[in-house]
Chain A
Amino acid sequence: MMFDQIPTAFLFFAGAIALLGLPQGRMRSALLLIVPIIAAWQVWGLQVGSTYTVPFFDFELDLIRVDKLSRIFGLIFCLAAFLGNLFAWHLRDTVQQVAALLYAGSAIGAVFAGDLITLFFYWEGTAIASVFLIWARRTEGAFHTGMRYLIIQIASGVILLAGVALYYRDTGSIAFESMTLGSIGTWLIFLSFGIKAAFPLLHNWLQDSYPAATITGTVILSAFTTKLAIYALARGFAGTEILIYIGVVMTLFPIFFAEIENDLRRVLAYSLNNQLGFMVVGIGIGTEMAINGTASHAFAHILYKALLFMSVGAVMFRTGTSKASELGGLYRTMPKTAMFCLVGAASISAFPLFSGFVTKSIILDEAASGHMYIVWLALVFASAGVLSHSGIKIPFFMFFAHDSGLRPKEPPTHMLLAMGITAALCIAIGVYPAPLYALLPYPVDFTPYTTGHVIGQLQLLLFALFAFAILMRTGIHPPEIRAVNLDTDWSYRWLLPRIIRKVASLVAAIWNGILAFLDTRLKNIISGLYHSHGPEGRMARVWPTGAMVIWISVLLGATLIVSFFE
């Protein structure tokens, strides 16, 4: 078997097995870095169009389907695995190390899956492997949160399987190609992708679980699951109009929640949701340039989102908290982390010369050139919203604002290195986007740096920043306070258990009532009979007084007969 015929996912799985043979320490940490490098090298060398199929019952499973769309996602996943593992170099936790490899491997396997059955296996693989990054926190709260996460992720897989079965019955094919919504099968597949992509109302698992994972686990979680779903949507449902509207709602509603959220890792989870919205809009538009926009935005997004999660993680590693209300003024002693965080903030806010600018503007430009006026206005608003929570809130309330009095040291070198490399990539993509554009699925005909683009974007961002400054000076800006905010997960985390409890107690009451009723009826019947037929009963009174004499004579008669025959 040639090297390029080994499915990339298997490299990660082999790495996970090899890991167990190594002693805990630097050897393992090194292996965790080497595996993604080898995988990236392999993906880089994969020829577009190559496939590798294996028989599976009556099906042919296509484990490697290489085209430019799967390759760019495969590459960024390898890169994300490398950066995440570098950030976690200090970790000596076998559970998280194995989970990180299996999780990245499953995500990459899913990206290269050419058929829906292979996709399903890897889809569930990402769910099962990733939950250990949450459970590895090893607290009561993390256990319950992980359970909620797992149930939803597995449900997505089960719905996918049901959809694939129906799709196969309808079309006789399991190939993972572009689909049209219509049959129940395709709707189920769409729903399954939508759960993982955190569509509105299906989104809560994201904001619930990512802040509950370990410090390093969240960095790794942020890269794979949702972007795998974005890839799957781009592959299966490009040009599906409903995605435009779903995407617009996704860009809008999280910015309100992010604005008032106190836990900065949850702010980032809302912000992640908002960024996915831009990608979903691109998929919904579905033109070649829009898909380019989605793929490039996913690429850039994985990097700057990882960078932001790393900077919050680094602060958490040194202070024990990621709550904005407890932080502030950390620039004094953590200036490098602050700088890296600002690079991430500028990238996600799409400041010119940073990565978000050269990728997000493709999607906005496609919406505008398609004359989708409302969609375009909503996306521009959402872009200002990104600035409010990820661009301003994260760095400002963590490193500046009021002095919390905390004087933590900079994080360890490997964390600074991971953040430094990621920050450098964010700037490199923003300054010189050509190499990224060359990786995109379709030929790129787009110039991000026109006078109009740059001035328009700077106006949008700096006027918004000015609005923030005014709101802060006037004290109108909402303060950071210790609290949680309800989202729709309230329905299944608070309301549903209470409804179930009420129903359960009602059913129990009815059951007990019926039992008690039957019990008293039975007792009444027995005591009634006893009352009437018992020794003291009315019926007993009318028994002939000679009854005893009769029975004695019967007994004597019987004795007589028996003795007669002997």
Chain B
Amino acid sequence: MSEHETDPKKLPALGRMLLWVDKPGSANKIFWALAVVCGLLFLADFTYEKHSYFDIEHLPGFYGIYGFVMFTGLILAAKGLRVLIKRNEDFYGDKAVDSEDYPEAGLEKVDHDV
């Protein structure tokens, strides 16, 4: 993506700091950091006494496991749903805004370097 390269010095300070996320290897670091945090949260379940309404909440890491499984299920189900209901952007023609551009009069497109 060399044509996208912008001189980092021209970016706002906050944006420059965030550039770290696009450095090679950063995505890996974030991934493994997340894995470690999840592991710690799982272990945290053994450190306090649970006051809960349902028995299943006493299962160590119940919320984590439930979140992980259901989230994955959700994405897979949505992916399946897309096969059924995906249509071209102009499916509803000129009766919908999906295939039309937002009127320029309502915009103020300004690039950062300008």
Contacts and interface: CB of A to CB of B under 8 A. Distances in A.
A465 B108 CA distance: 35
Contact of A384 (B1, B54, B62, B71): B71
A318 B70 contact: no
Interface string B27-61: 00011001101100110110010111110010001
A467 B35 contact: no
B75 A410 contact: no
On chain B, which size bracket covers the interface?
35 or more
B63 A380 contact: yes
A410 B12 CA distance: 10
Contacts of A412: 108
A140 B94 CA distance: 6
Contacts of A85: none
A194 interface: no
Interface stretch (A196-204, A280-288, A291-299, A367-375): A367-375
Nearest to A485: B85
Contact of A332 (B6, B61, B67, B100): B6
Q: Indicate the member of B61, B104, B110 with the most A CB atoms within 10 Å.
A: B110
Interface in A366-395: 368-369, 371, 373, 376-377, 380-381, 384-385, 387-388
Contacts of B30: 469
A134 to B, nearest CB: 9
B95 A141 contact: yes
A319 interface: yes
Interface residues of A, number: 87
A259 B86 CA distance: 12
Interface of B: 1, 3-4, 6, 11-12, 14-15, 17-19, 21-22, 30-31, 34-35, 37-38, 41-42, 44-45, 48, 50-54, 57, 61-68, 70-72, 74-79, 81-82, 84-89, 91-92, 94-104, 106-114
Interface of A: 90, 137-142, 144-145, 208, 211-212, 214-215, 255-257, 259-260, 263, 316-321, 329, 331-336, 338-339, 368-369, 371, 373, 376-377, 380-381, 384-385, 387-388, 400, 403, 405, 407-410, 412, 450-452, 455-469, 471, 473, 476-478, 481-487, 493-494
